[in-house]
Amino acid sequence: MKKERRVLCLLTALIMLLCRLPAVHAQEPEEESGDRTQSPYFYVESEEEGVDCFPLKNTDVRVTIEGMIADIYVAQTYANQGTKPINASYMFPASTKVTIHGMQMRIGNQTVTATIKEKEEAKEEFETAKSEGKSASMLSEERPNVFTMDVANIMPGDEAKIELHYTELLMPVEGTYEFVYPTVVGPRYVSPVKDDTGNRDEWAGAPYLAEGVVPDDAYHIDVTVSAGMPVSAISSSSHDINIDWEKNTRAHVSLADSADYAGNRDFILDYKLTGDQISTGMITDQGEKENFFMLMIQPPERYETKEIPAREYIFVLDVSGSMSGFPLDTAKKLITDLVSGLRETDTFNLLLFSGDSSQMSDRSVPATKDNVEKALRMIREQRGAGGTELTPALQDALHIPAAGDTSRNIVVITDGYISGEPEIFELVNANLNRADFFSFGIGSSVNRYLIDGIASIGQGEPFVVTDEDEAAETAERFRTYIQSPVLTDIKVSFDGFETYDVEPAVLPTLYAQKPIVLLGKWKGEPSGTVQITGMTGEGEYAQSIDVAEAVSGQNDAVGHLWARKRVERLTDYGRSDEDSAARKEVTQIGLDHHMITPYTSFIAVLDIVRNPDGDGADVDQPLPLPLAVSELAIGYRKGSEPGIPVFAGMLAGGIVLAAWIRKRDRAGIEQAGKMKVRSK
């Protein structure tokens, strides 16, 4: 029966695809049951504007950075310009480190402040409001850096404005702070799934506009950077910016070119604080129910070790379809710099992966000139095609025989456009005694959740390269980090200061010169000291902090940051969803701190029946492809017939790409004959 359903689904998908081809060329009208967002990944705009889509008209991002805490407000305005009520779903990204703790919905002159509820309860309330004809919105977490906004009963002529409130902690590295605002979700590849009929290849994705198509909506980003000391070296590697200074301790940053669409790549802003650097300090918050603290400890200067032991490096390079073009060219430059900088006492290996993987050698080889050139030739031949099978590639890397007691480092280089992060995190966690894991994200809108998670679990460091010119500098940073750790064997103890629920519970080796940040709760009096010990390249390290000198007051941000850190440890990076105790604790944290978690959602309902008939069009809002990401990321090849998918197996040696179309799993949204592609 499963096999019959599977064959029927595939045949239906192919028939729907073939039937849609004339609409691409001639814009012919579709049957009543058709949906112009259902074609695999590409959205074909209707001639009758607004009938089948719910356009995002404007995104307004306002950020205030005070030292190292970013306060972010995001307002998105949608409009129903058609003649039917609309129920819509829109997917958007966020940083893996943000706490989303506020949401408002405004329709016309009426505003509703969203409440936080358990996810299933929020979903039930949303569906009830939808069926009753009430306007509603619901914000849910799909994964820690991808969220879905659902809206219901947006009437013809309506403008709906949704405002979100984030908080994020920014961590300086080597004195430079970096604020990243992701703007678009890249397509995610789903690995083959085993069932009783064998393997099947699936691709997951929201509807995407064609490569090079720029949305009509406006995208505004404004950032204010301020501190109690001079701010300097403000720059953006992603966008052209204007900087307006207010003295030397405060600067206003805005996008310089309104014609350059900002919503197809991460917005990246770097800045430095000069003069007396924020080095060590504590903030305490006395709340109504609980007290929170944030402790920041500046590490020592980096010490050069005199004798660096030989190391083994296994480079795992993504050569899949989504890496085609700019990302792969950048990755080639990066790995060339990484491999060329090895010492002859080091050993290395190279493993390339897409739908399957191939490696340079059965065993790691010395980093001689001849072996390095062999690796570079292997890299230069790559063009990018096929799926993104990272898990089997990591398994192959781990199966390479180890060379004695040599320290093994596995270096993953990818854009991260996959959906199976938990499986990868579980694999890394299970092999911590065999290797350290470093990760390089390549591209304008990388999956930072995957990149950060591999390094966080793997006791390494994450890196992101958005420009080919950054490759050499990033490779040098990697060599500096791995060859001379700043601080090892770190321990923190509290004397005379009663603390509990301190995060993180365990401190890893500190490779980068960045502050150590602890978040926790306290009770009693804010007194006593904090003792920090560890080892540097020159010997023992110790530092003491006087709690009485902490900055105190009502600082809600500290509680939000603690909650985010606690939820991260309990749920992120491969933690089991079946852990009932963790699930219960995370749910309660979400409810107590009024924040989005995997088990809590925001829900806002306008308590007026506006669509008594209950009829409406269901729409998955299409996304732009990230800048410089080719159509191969979603199974299409630029230059082929419009609307005709190129099967990835023809590009990658027999791997079949089928557009997997399934009915939406949300109650009340399913429509007979309407099959959609969703990214989870």
**What is the structure's pLDDT at 593?**
93
Q: Which of 437, 465, 483 is the last residue of a domain?
A: 483
> Please, what is the average pLDDT of the chain?
74
Q: What is the pLDDT of residue 33?
A: 32
502 and 582 fall within a common domain? yes
Strand order from edge to edge, sheet including 56-66: 110-113, 99-107, 159-169, 69-79, 56-66, 218-226, 250-255, 241-246
Answer yes or no: do 416 and 547 share one domain: no
Asked whether residue 266 is assigned to any structural domain, the reply reads no
Q: Say which range, 126-135, 390-399, 413-422, has the weakest mean pLDDT.
A: 413-422
Can you give the length of the chain in residues? 680
pLDDT at 668 over 50: no
Q: Using DSSP bridges, classify how beta strands 159-169 and 99-107 pair: parallel, antiparallel or unpaired.
A: antiparallel
What is the residue type of 336?
T
Amino acid 102: pLDDT: 92
What's the CA gap between 510 and 488, in Å, rounded? Answer: 6
What Å distances lie between residue 526 and 160, 295, 355, 679, CA to CA? Answer: 46, 13, 56, 47
Taking the CA of residue 98 as centre, how many other CA atoms within 13 Å lie in the half-sphere pointing to its CB?
28
Q: Is 79 a domain residue?
A: no
pLDDT digits over 217-272, tens only? Answer: 678 899 999 877 788 889 998 889 999 998 888 999 999 987 777 667 888 899 98
Q: Fill in the DSSP letter of residue 173.
A: B
Cβ(148)–Cβ(89) under 8 Å? yes
| Lowest-pLDDT range of 10-14, 20-24, 329-333, 473-477 | 20-24
Indicate whether 645 belongs to any domain.
yes
Return d(Cα 490, Cα 303) in angstroms, integer. 16
Asked if residues 40 and 32 have their Cβ atoms less than 8 Å apart, the reply is: no
343 in the same domain as 428: yes
Domain boundary among 483, 515, 535: 483
Task: Compute the distance between CA of residue 501 and CA of residue 494 in angstroms, rounded to an integer.
Answer: 13
Percent of the chain, pLDDT > 90? 22
Tens of pLDDT, residue by residue over 599-617, are 999 999 998 888 887 676 6
Burial (CB count within 10 angstroms: exposed 0-12, middle 13-18, buried 19+), residue 257: exposed
Residue 113 in any domain: the answer is no
Q: What is the pLDDT of residue 34?
A: 33
546 is written with which tokens?
């006087």
Asked if residue 655 and residue 585 are part of one domain, the reply reads no
Is the sign of the CA dihedral 453, 456, 459, 463 positive or negative? positive
Closest CA to 112 of 605, 595, 596, 601: 605
Give yes or no: residues 465 and 578 share one domain.
no
Q: Say yes or no to pLDDT of 396 above 60.
A: yes
Pick the last residue of a domain from 436, 457, 483: 483
Amino acid at 190: V
What pLDDT score was predicted for residue 279?
58
d(C-alpha 452, C-alpha 178), whole Å: 15
Provide the CATH number for the domain around residue 556: 2.60.40
Residues 329 and 406 in one domain: yes
Give the number of domains in the chain.
Answer: 3
Cα angle 130-56-180, degrees, rounded to a multiple of 5:
110
Give the confidence band of 280 by pLDDT, cuts at 50, 70, 90: low
> 316 with 430, same domain?
yes
Q: What is the pLDDT of residues 615-664, one digit of tens each?
A: 766 655 555 555 555 555 545 444 443 333 333 332 223 222 223 223 33
Both structure tokens of 267: 């917005």
603 lies in some domain: no
Answer whether residue 611 is part of any domain: no
474 and 433 in a common domain: yes
Q: Which CATH number covers residue 390?
A: 3.40.50.410
Mean pLDDT is lowest, of 201-215, 304-318, 497-511, 573-587, for 201-215
Within 8 A by CB and 6+ apart from 216, the residues are: 55
User: Sorting pLDDT into bands at 50, 70 and 90, what band is 287?
Assistant: confident
pLDDT per position as a tens digit, 490-501:
889 999 999 999
- 466-486: pLDDT as tens digits: 877 788 888 888 877 777 777
**What is the predicted pLDDT for the residue at 553?**
62
Residue 426 lies in a domain: yes
Is residue 572 domain-shared with residue 455, that is, in the same domain? no
Same domain, 503 and 469: no
Weakest-pLDDT range from 52-56, 372-376, 658-662:
658-662
Tell me what pLDDT residue 627 has.
57
Q: At what angle do helices 580-593 and 556-571 cross, to 10 degrees?
A: 160
Q: Could you tell me where the DSSP H helices lie in 444-602?
A: 448-457, 471-483, 556-571, 580-593
**Angstrom distance (rounded) from CA 123 to CA 133:** 15
- Say if residues 403 and 312 touch (Cβ distance below 8 Å): yes
The whole domain housing 539 covers 279-295+486-591
Give tens-digit pLDDT for 188-228: 545 544 333 333 333 344 555 555 556 666 788 999 998 77
Tokens 């669509």: give the residue: 611
Q: What are phi and psi of 389, to 5 degrees?
A: -95, 80
Answer whether residue 491 is part of any domain.
Answer: yes
The verdict on 547 and 470 lying in the same domain is no
Asked whether residue 436 falls in the same domain as residue 583, the answer is: no
